[in-house]
Structure 1
Amino acid sequence: MNINITDEAVNWFKNEMDLEEGDAIQFYPKYGGDSPFQSGFSIGMAIGSANEPQVTTEKQGISFQIDEKDIWFFDEKDLYVGLKDGEVAYSDESLN
């Protein structure tokens, strides 16, 4: 499993969340909503490193991570992060 993130999405995180090189974003399951990974769950995000990073990708000096305890949620699928209508969008397939 991998995290794939577009340059536009990285710029969104940097601007909207006031991130600097060396910062980290953690993705995790959130009860409620819907996602392409698990029905009844959406994807949450938080500034900070995962306790036990299982999946990590770095882009423009920012680390994007998923913790070991949350890996079940993604069901062995890649996470694609991009922008849709100016907002962050998540998918289990390319957003290009």
Structure 2
Amino acid sequence: MKLHVTSDAVICFQKEWGFTQGDVVRIFVRYSGMSEEGPYSLGIQHDRPMYIGLSTIQDNMTFYMEENDVWFLDGRDLTIDSNGEDILFLLPK
């Protein structure tokens, strides 16, 4: 299980979401109702880690998931990318 963040995603976080170099970004699991992917989805927030399960640094920004959220990945790698102003969470099937 690995966490990958593209440079395009970092640009999107900075340009569209107001993050800056040196910021720490938490990727978390949230209940989002029923959809094709199920009742859960991933969210983002500016936060400080307590119990890091996964982390990576890309372009001087730290991205992480807490230990209690990595279950959602089910052993898969997560890639965070962007499409215009949208952040994409890419998990292989």
Asked if these proteins are the same fold (TM beyond 0.5), I'd say yes
Q: Percent identity?
A: 23
Cα offset, 1:51, TM superposition: 1.4
Partner of residue 79, structure 2: 80
The runs of at least 4 consecutive aligned structure 1 residues that moved more than 3 Å come to 33-36
Structure 2 residue runs of 5 or longer lacking an equivalent are: none
Partner of residue 45, structure 2: 46
Figure out how many residues of one structure are paired with residues of the other and give that number.
Answer: 91
Structure 1 residue runs of 5 or longer lacking an equivalent are: none
Under a length normalisation based on structure 1, what TM-score does the superposition of the two structures give?
0.83
Q: 1:22 to 1:68 in 2, by over 3 A?
A: same
Q: Does 1:66 align with 2:47?
A: no
Cα offset, 1:16, TM superposition: 2.3
Equivalent position amino acid for 1:9 in 2: A
Under a length normalisation based on structure 2, what TM-score does the superposition of the two structures give?
0.85
